[in-house]
Each structure stands twice: as structure tokens, then as C-alpha cells.
Amino acid sequence: MQNITSQSTCSNLSSSRILATPSVRRIARENIINLHDVSGSGKDGRVLHEDIQRYLAGQSQSKSQLETGAQSEQGLTNKYDDKIIPLNIIQCVMRDKMTESQLIPHFVLSEEIDMSKLVEFRQSINEKLIKLNNIKITYLPFFIKAASFALNEFPILNSQLDEKHENIIYKQNHNIGIAMDTKNGLIVPTIKSVQNLSIVQIAEEINRLQQLGLEGKLSLTDLEGGTFTLSNIGSIGGMFTAPCIVPPQVAIGGIGRIQKLPRFDENNRIKEAYIMCVSWSADHRIIDGATMTRFSNLWKSHLEDPSSLMLQLVQTQ
């Protein structure tokens, strides 16, 4: 096979001798950056947050130029028509994150949600919002806000495991990551402090992140600091999943698409219902099945009875 050589976007060199704070090192690890390649502007060459941002911006520009200039080279094939293309930065990050994720002992819990009342409620809300602000809300903001309310009752699902010191770190803010499909691969931007946001504010933040994601302009701040993740595979048609936990988080939810299906009412008569499935993956080192089930039940109750969700919103204002 003919190999097409290209400078790798993945770097595994040690950064231990470079002056940098732990938070800068963490950001570098998350973005697969070798700190030896970053010019530090701090005292004694210390690498600062802004140095990382400048490096990423330059790397993105260089990558674009390389891709433009090397399209013909990367398009070369051998006699079997195999094509060799280097991993892009997003693929490198996903490779390393998912490899790390497989070291976590997962368990998966699945549940069925009757979305009928929320379907009707959302339709009525959107009719009013379109008249007032010309905006529409998807189901995702409801999922996110319901998760935040449930995290208030089960904060261990918004924690991180510190294996080195044998501690559980309970995170104060609900920084909920949303798995997002882009042309360059999967990214997980984060909606910060969801516990302080309304459903409309969450919707606005989702729109902002999606637009920046499509343009490839998400900042480090948008991508870091997640404490819990939701993956809405239903938006592209999936029904069931077994999502992989995003380290260092301890839980993730995979949400399927909504289907109109026959179900029995309280009088054992068949009715139409809007049904959605969710699958939760949790870190079995610190999360047990009972805790995950109770969290799921509470999250489910908010979606099946939107009035309880609205009541919680009123009480937290």
C-alpha cells in the first residue's frame, strides 16, 4: 500500500517541563496540545490561557491551509483505491476521550417516557413565542432543564471521581454538555450554570453554540468545564443507544426520537401516545443502579407532567 505522509494533528510528547498552571495543562490535554509547541507569554516563558487560545486559532488556520493545499495529495490512491487521510483534531480528541472512557466501568439504564403532554405543551408555548419573539423551542431545552432539577436532588451525578486522593468532587454548577454533530466530527459544547437559566435562555444558548459549531468558531470556554452530558440522537433519527461517559464526568444520557405508538390508558383502552426512550450510562465505581433509577424517574416525571417542570421554574426564580 502506498502511504501518503502528512504532519499528524495528534501529539503525544511530554509537556512536563513547561511552566503552566494545572488548568492550562488540563485544557492542553483535552485539546491534544503539546505545550512544547506553544509560545508562552508569561514570566519565564510560562504558558497562559491566552497562549493556548492563540495556538488553537493558528492551528485551525494552518489546518485549513494544509487541507486546501493537500487535497490532491490526500486524494491519491493505491491500486486498490484505498485512501489514507490523517485524523483531524476533533477525531484525535474523540479517539483519546473515548479510549479513556472505556476504562470506566459503565452500566446502562433505559426507560420509556410518555411525551404526550409535553408535545402539546411545547406546541402551545411555541405558538405564543412565535408571536412575541419569532422563536421556536425544541425539546432539548426541556430535557436539559429537567436534568438540572433532577441533579439538585441527586448531586452525585454532577460530580467527578478523584481517584488519586480517593475523593468525590461535587460540582456546584450544572454545566451540561450537549453532543453536537458537525461536518468535522462530534463535539460537546457546554451550557454553563443551567440551574440559573430559564428554558428560553437555554434555547438561546443552544442556538448560539450550534451556530458557532457549524462555523468552527467555538471557544475553549464553550468546550470546557462540562459536569453532565446529554446526547440527543433522536434529532437525527436514532431510538436506542448506550452512550459513553465523557471523562471526568460520571453520567450521560442518550435520548431517542419521539414516536407515535399505541399504549393503554388507565381504563385499559388503546390510545395514541408520543413515546421516547432514554438510556443513561453511569460510572459504577461511585453510582449505583438505585440512584440512577431514582434520578431517571424524577427526570421522567418532569417531562410527563410539564406543569411540575413549570412549578419548579417558578419556585427557583
Q: Is residue 269 part of a domain?
A: yes
Instruction: Tell me what pLDDT residue 64 has.
Output: 54
Instruction: Tell me what pLDDT residue 63 has.
Output: 55
Q: Is residue 145 part of a domain?
A: yes
Residue numbers in the chain where pLDDT is lower than 70? 1-17, 59-79, 315-317
d(CA 18, CA 55): 15
Instruction: Tell me what pLDDT residue 308 has.
Output: 85
Kindly state whether residues 129 and 273 are assigned to the same domain: yes
Domain count, the chain: 2
Kindly state whether residues 146 and 33 are assigned to the same domain: no
58 CB-near residues (< 8 Å, 6+ apart): none
Kindly state whether residues 80 and 204 are assigned to the same domain: no
Domain boundary among 65, 86, 107: 86
Kindly state whether residues 28 and 106 are assigned to the same domain: no
CB 25, CB 39: distance < 8 Å:
no
What range defines the domain where residue 27 resides?
Answer: 22-86
CB 290, CB 106: distance < 8 Å:
no
CATH, residue 209? 3.30.559.10
CB 37, CB 52: distance < 8 Å:
no
Q: Is residue 11 part of a domain?
A: no
Kindly state whether residues 36 and 157 are assigned to the same domain: no
* Cα distance between the two ends of the chain: 63
Catalytic residue among 49, 114, 284, 305: 284
Catalytic residue among 36, 37, 162, 288: 288
DSSP bridge partners of 262? 272
Kindly state whether residues 205 and 248 are assigned to the same domain: yes
315 CB-near residues (< 8 Å, 6+ apart): none
Q: Is residue 13 part of a domain?
A: no
Kindly state whether residues 108 and 230 are assigned to the same domain: yes
Task: Tell me whether residue 284 is one of the annotated catalytic residues.
Answer: yes
Task: Tell me whether residue 96 is one of the annotated catalytic residues.
Answer: no
d(CA 33, CA 18): 12
Instruction: Tell me what pLDDT residue 133 has.
Output: 79
DSSP class of residue 20 equals B
Kindly state whether residues 150 and 192 are assigned to the same domain: yes
Q: Is residue 2 part of a domain?
A: no
Instruction: Tell me what pLDDT residue 60 has.
Output: 59
Instruction: Tell me what pLDDT residue 21 has.
Output: 87
CATH, residue 77? 4.10.320.10
